[in-house]
Chains A and B, each alone.
Chain A
Amino acid sequence: MRPGSVAIVGAAETTELGRIPDQSQLQLHADAALNTLADAGLTPADVDGVATAGESPTGVAHYLGITPTWVDGTAVGGCSFMLHVRHAAAAINEGFCKTVLITHGESGRSRIGRGGFSRPAASLQGQFEAPFGTMGAPSTFTIPVLRYMKKYGVTEEQLAMVAVVQREWAARNPRASYRDPIDVDDVLSSDMIAYPFRKLMCCLVTDGGGALILTSAERARDFPQRPVYVIGTGESVETPMVSQMEDFTTSRAFRVSGRAAFEEAGIAHGDVDHLMIYDAFAHLPLYGLEDLGFVGRGEAADFVEERNTAEGGKLPLNTNGGGLSYMHSGMYGMYALQESVRQLRGTAPAQVKDARISIAHGVGGMFAASGTIVLSNEAR
């Protein structure tokens, strides 16, 4: 992608977040899409590209009355939307379409109109992981962390600090699910879910959605909102089986995706004003900070404990409260992108002063996939 050649000109979440028992998953996509079209001053007839995960792009396009000339149904988990942004930028540059709508909607909590997860018994996960009692993300995504903690001497208290700092950010966000302050003792005395993970180290399970509209940088100036330019992108996958990660202390997909995004954007780490790292669990920001190169190996826990990612710190991280405190529908990557856009528009509830460059880094599956998007509010 040519850095800065494409911009986000529409961004919005569903009207409600949290518990939405009166809407199906498909309608959550539509609610987010309609709010985003309004944000951009468009109607469905103006859209000629559709990308989504969780539902099929066919279903979303038909439901909204869109006739696309380009679709992308890449579904690699919660970071799919980062990949959609990357693919959409390429498609717009290539002339496949002019105006792309990316939607997310997920009835994660109420489970209305939502298919279940199934792992066929003949799949590799079905044969070599499920028989040993992996029961979704809390008991699977968490498996690598003891190795990481042993290698770098990271304590449970430090893991808890990730959740504490993010709750501080959430306290400033009226739409966050959890806003009451917590301390390390609160985290370490919350229910044990899958040792060493306590409940407050695990993400929420909520309903909601979000959508984005992308177009070329040339057209972006004619839209009502301040354009947010896509200046760097990356993606990768490693393995669908957490047990087969090549190194339990670092994600190869994170490293490959992050490196590509930094190189494309041509920026240094010191240029980044604001960062979102998909936090399904408290260890993910630690892996992300290291694998993206913001800190050295084994330094992330100290970095968080020393409040570098908190308000007033040098690298504000997960400023919406994150999956741990803001919301987590299941595929949270869309909300990380939304917060990056808000920060660069200057409309975030916990606004980082003069933020010019933001990175939204996502994970898909259990360290299975990754997508990284570098955004800027300055045209190139």
Chain B
Amino acid sequence: MAESRRPLPRPTPETQHFWDGTRERELRLQRCDACSQVYFPPRPFCPACASRKVSVFAASGRGTLYSYVINHRAPPGSGFEPPYSIAVVELDEGPRMMTNIVGVPQTPEALQLDMPVEAVYEDFTDQITLPFFRPLEAS
């Protein structure tokens, strides 16, 4: 298990499938059965057309780096060691999600926008596994 001082999510009934998925090394998104919209974060209806008929599916776990900052300020005991990236990845399926880019120096030179990335998973508790992303080339 990794350190767990960082704030960890508490799943709700609407998001449990996502966190069950990361524990099993899967990035689970939702798709609307009516209009085919793929969306994130989880909810039991489509944000595009309001249909309640939606399905969970395993996404590819691949995407590109959309934007980020490199945070240089984190108090001791926060669970974060600066500098570290706080990034938003655009998934190949469309939605964007926040994450950390790992396995690469936390520098502007190493973190190029639009570079391909893939999900990696880190267990923090028996219940919670966070999805991080690393450059695709590093796999």
Which A positions have Cβ atoms within 8 angstroms of B? 119-122, 124, 126-135, 138-140, 142-147, 150, 191-197, 241, 243-244, 248
Cross-chain contact B97 with A197 (CB below 8 angstroms): no
Cross-chain contact A121 with B73 (CB below 8 angstroms): no
- Point out the residues of chain A lying under 8 angstroms from B130, CB to CB: 131-132
Report the separation of the CA atoms of residues A195 and B72 in the bound assembly, to the nearest whole angstrom.
8
Cross-chain contact B100 with A132 (CB below 8 angstroms): yes
- Point out the residues of chain B lying under 8 angstroms from A191, CB to CB: 72
Report the separation of the CA atoms of residues A128 and B99 in the bound assembly, to the nearest whole angstrom.
8
With A135-B73, A192-B72: A127-B88 Cβ-Cβ less than 8 Å: no
Cross-chain contact A139 with B73 (CB below 8 angstroms): yes
- Point out the residues of chain A lying under 8 angstroms from B88, CB to CB: 143, 243, 248
* Chain A nearest Cβ from B136, distance in angstroms: 19
Residues 11-50 (chain B) with a chain A CB within 8 angstroms: 11-12, 15, 19, 41
Interface of B is mostly: loop
Cross-chain contact A142 with B69 (CB below 8 angstroms): yes
Report the separation of the CA atoms of residues A219 and B7 in the bound assembly, to the nearest whole angstrom.
53
Known: A192-B70, A195-B72. 18 other contacts (CB 8 A): A121-B9, A122-B9, A122-B10, A126-B7, A127-B15, A132-B99, A133-B79, A133-B84, A135-B73, A135-B74, A135-B78, A135-B80, A138-B71, A140-B86, A146-B68, A147-B67, A192-B83, A195-B69
What are 12 A-B interface contacts by the 8 Å CB criterion?
A: A124-B15, A127-B41, A128-B9, A130-B7, A131-B8, A132-B99, A133-B100, A147-B67, A147-B113, A191-B72, A194-B72, A244-B96
* Chain B nearest Cβ from A144, distance in angstroms: 6
- Point out the residues of chain B lying under 8 angstroms from A241, CB to CB: 41, 98
Cross-chain contact A194 with B71 (CB below 8 angstroms): yes
Which B positions have Cβ atoms within 8 angstroms of A? 6-12, 15, 19, 41, 66-75, 78-80, 83-84, 86-88, 96-100, 108, 113, 130
Cross-chain contact A128 with B67 (CB below 8 angstroms): no
Cross-chain contact B113 with A131 (CB below 8 angstroms): no
Report the separation of the CA atoms of residues A147 and B67 in the bound assembly, to the nearest whole angstrom.
5
- Point out the residues of chain B lying under 8 angstroms from A135, CB to CB: 71, 73-75, 78, 80
Cross-chain contact A143 with B10 (CB below 8 angstroms): no
Cross-chain contact B70 with A194 (CB below 8 angstroms): yes
- Point out the residues of chain A lying under 8 angstroms from B79, CB to CB: 133
* Chain A nearest Cβ from B1, distance in angstroms: 15
- Point out the residues of chain B lying under 8 angstroms from A126, CB to CB: 7, 9-10
- Point out the residues of chain A lying under 8 angstroms from B66, CB to CB: 147, 248
